[in-house]
Amino acid sequence: MKSAVEQLSTYKSVHLNPKNIRTHFFGVPMIIWSVFVMLATIRFEVAGLPLSSAIVLMLISLAYYYKLHVRLALGLTIFIIPVFYTANIVALSDYPFAIAITTFVVGWIIQFIGHKYEKAKPAFIDDLNQLLIGPFFLMAELYFMFGWEKQLDAQITPIARDKRRALEAAKRTA
């Protein structure tokens, strides 16, 4: 498993433009919430306990984030609880798929607008695991804005810039 520094520097290498990062603060949560809504409609019982696929995704994702970086995972836990709660409410409504699909599409449109500013393709194009890193990256960026995890920021930013320069050099020679 790649470290938090490796994952974040790869993601950040195509997320250096502040406008792109701002669009991701809207698009990524919309996409996450819409996926949770869709998964919350898949319900089942285990030992008489009502569950949904959304809780399975939540637990697996959080376990992965805690393995990568405990302090960032704590922030993601605080973020994901209301996402999970509201997604479950909408999943029980009359039109959960229409709401989720609309939100999902709008979220991706916002993402791709951000990448127009960035002039770089989304990180997941080359590595699907980067889809899981989006929320992790945004939590890291939020921590950095508050002046937290300065050492992590100091580690990932130079690596990300080097990776970006390598990507741009490869584009020029192609």
pLDDT digits (tens, 9 = 90+) for 30-61: 999 999 999 999 999 999 999 999 999 999 99
Q: How confident is the model at residue 125 (pLDDT cuts 50, 70, 90)?
A: confident
**How many structural domains compose the chain?**
1
Summarised one tens digit per residue, pLDDT across range 59-87 is 999 999 999 999 999 999 999 999 999 99
For residue 33 the two structure tokens come to 């919430």
Residue type, 67: K
For residue 97 the two structure tokens come to 């798929």
Structure pTM?
Answer: 0.94
Nearest in space to 157 (alpha carbons), one of 143, 141, 168, 173: 141
Q: How confident is the model at residue 172 (pLDDT cuts 50, 70, 90)?
A: confident
Task: State residue 123's pLDDT score.
Answer: 86
DSSP letter string, the chain: ---HHHHHHHHHTT--SHHHHHHHHHHHHHHHHHHHHHHHTSEEEETTEEEEHHHHHHHHHHHHHHHH-HHHHHHHHHHHHHHHHHHHHHHTSS-HHHHHHHHHHHHHHHHHHHHHHHTS--GGGT-TTHHHHHHHHHHHHHHHHTT--HHHHHHHHHHHHHHHHHHHHHHHH-
Q: Say if residue 174's pLDDT is above 80.
A: no
What is the mean predicted confidence (pLDDT) over 89-103? 97
Mean per-residue pLDDT over the chain, rounded = 95
What is the mean predicted confidence (pLDDT) over 101-124? 94
Nearest in space to 156 (alpha carbons), one of 168, 131, 169, 139: 139
Summarised one tens digit per residue, pLDDT across range 137-150 is 999 999 999 999 99
Q: Say if residue 170's pLDDT is above 90.
A: no
Percent residues over pLDDT 90 in the chain: 88
Domain that residue 95 falls in: 4-173
Q: Say if residue 22's pLDDT is above 80.
A: yes
Q: Are 40 and 110 in contact (CB under 8 A)?
A: no
Phi, psi values for residue 160, rounded to 5°: -60, -45
